[in-house]
């Protein structure tokens, strides 16, 4: 029976070698790390961090490797000021959400969590599958993550604007399969402007938008939060320039869509009358409702200095608020009166304490503490209105 034992030994050794070989990360244009459906890429021409697959700007996609750049001629190796994986990067010389200048990774269909680490950049966004996924990451080495369903066997990702004229760079990418289902978990999508958007580093920024701090008040075992707000945004821009497109690609029954705009719509440079604002907002409300999502409109908070002589904070007539209130009633959607609710809170703490919740010398933009208070107020009101997840 010695021959049988030898056969068993060879079979076990072959199986073991195959499993180990599939789990190891190797460099020099060979197969990427794929242990337990996890992939880790370190971009640039420098040293490759342990556990990562190194990818240079010159690495073209091949089916044999299962990863690489679609058009490496439009990529460039660059340095970066961070450490570890953030010490170097690749730059996307051509870009845009519809660009074919993507980094491609072959993946089995399912739901993935994707973590990105940018290189040196002033303001960049991340796009995949032709739409935005992260809006306006700022500062060198900025880090964020998102969920994405893969339905065609491949992830196609690039770093894009952001802000024209800046370098769109990527230092590292981590991909982890979290489900065989090809739909996102229940999601709260948020649209808005600089009082709502994310600031980086996400965990320690001085300035904050209430959408950035919102996950602290959400049951994250029920929902993920996708904050698609951006600084300076107004209703027409949010609808027409890619943010609403990204939401509509993935939003589904069971999801929430919270939309708060109006501050920048009242700015003359954006050329939006109140009647136009209302109809653009109505269009977005109806598109999200048609996808089966629960739509929630919110009125923006006022300025820190909106106190009258009796030290009562009031800003009800700012930011086209009347049209937002009317639209919520006309379209039978939920309304968070953040304007009134925040005014009541500011009145309760007084003018001096209210100023401490805003950026120094800035009466419009909340700091991190102020954003947390606004997020708390929004979540509390949604819970009061009977929505789950808070």
- Going by C-alpha positions, the residue among 143, 119, 238 that lies closest to residue 199 is 143
Please work out, in degrees rounded to the nearest 5, the angle formed at the alpha carbon of residue 35 by the alpha carbons of 32 and 36. Answer: 135
Instruction: Determine which one of 152, 240, 362, 388 is catalytic.
Output: 362
- Is 106 marked active-site? no
The secondary structure of the chain, three-state, reads CHHHHHHHHHHHHHHHHHHHHHHCCCCCCCCCCCHHHEEEEEECCCCCCCCCEEECCCCECECCCCEEECCHHHEEEEECCCCHHHHEEEEECCCCCCCCCCEEEECCCEEEEEEEECCCCCEEEEEECCEEEEEEEECCCCEEEEEEEECCCEEEEEEECCCCCCCCEECEEEEEEEECCCCCCCEEEEECCCCCCCCCCCCCCCECCHHHHHHHHCCCCCCEEEECCCCCCCHHHHHHCCHHHHHHHHCCCCCEEEECCCCCCCCHHHCCCHHHHHHHHHHHHHHHHHCCCEEEEECCCCCCCCECCCCCECCCCCCCHHHHHHHHHHCCCEEECHHHHHHHHHHHHHHHHHHCCECCCCCCCEEHHHHHHHHHHHHHHHHHCCCCCC
Q: Which of 125, 194, 323, 343 is catalytic?
A: 194
Known catalytic residue at 99:
no
**Look-up of token digits 């065989």:** 180
Given 42, 59, 323, 365, the catalytic residue:
365
Q: Is 362 tagged catalytic?
A: yes
Give the Cα separation of 31 and 319 in Å (integer). Answer: 54
By annotation, the residues acting in catalysis are 194, 362, 365
């Amino acid at each position: 029976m010695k021959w049988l034992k030898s056969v068993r030994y060879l079979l076990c050794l072959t199986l073991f070698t195959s499993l180990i070989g599939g789990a190891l990360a190797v460099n020099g244009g060979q197969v990427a790390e794929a242990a337990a459906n996890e992939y880790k890429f370190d971009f640039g021409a420098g040293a490759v961090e342990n556990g990562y697959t190194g990818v240079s700007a010159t690495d073209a996609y091949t089916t044999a490797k299962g990863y690489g750049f679609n058009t490496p001629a439009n990529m460039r190796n660059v340095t970066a000021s961070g450490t570890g994986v953030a010490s170097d990067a690749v730059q996307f010389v051509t870009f845009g959400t519809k660009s074919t200048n993507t980094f491609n990774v072959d993946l089995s269909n399912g739901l993935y969590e994707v973590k990105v680490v940018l290189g040196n950049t002033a303001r960049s966004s991340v796009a995949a599958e032709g739409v935005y996924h992260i809006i306006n990451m700022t500062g060198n080495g900025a880090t964020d993550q998102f969920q994405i369903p893969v339905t065609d066997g491949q992830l196609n990702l690039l770093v894009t604007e952001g802000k024209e004229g800046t370098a769109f760079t990527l230092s590292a990418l981590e991909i982890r399969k979290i489900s065989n289902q090809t739909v996102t978990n229940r999601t709260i999508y948020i649209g808005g402007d600089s009082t709502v958007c994310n600031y980086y580093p996400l965990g320690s920024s001085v300035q904050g938008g209430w959408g950035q701090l919102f996950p602290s008040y959400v049951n994250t075992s029920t929902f993920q939060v996708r904050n698609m707000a951006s600084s300076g945004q107004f209703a027409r821009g949010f609808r027409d320039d890619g943010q609403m497109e990204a939401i509509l690609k993935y939003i589904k029954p069971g999801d929430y869509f919270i939309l708060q705009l109006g501050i920048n719509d009242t700015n003359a440079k954006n050329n939006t009358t109140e009647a136009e604002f209302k109809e653009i907002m109505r269009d977005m409300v109806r598109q999200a409702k048609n996808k089966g999502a629960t739509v929630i409109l919110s009125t923006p908070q006022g300025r820190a200095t909106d106190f009258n002589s009796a030290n009562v904070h009031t800003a009800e007539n700012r930011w086209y608020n009347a049209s937002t209130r009317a639209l919520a009633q006309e379209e039978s959607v939920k309304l968070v009166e953040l304007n009134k609710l925040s005014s009541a809170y500011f009145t309760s703490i007084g003018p001096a304490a209210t100023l401490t919740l805003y950026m120094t010398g800035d009466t419009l933009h909340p700091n991190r503490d102020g954003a947390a208070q606004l997020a708390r107020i929004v979540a509390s009101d949604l819970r009061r209105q009977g929505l789950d997840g808070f």
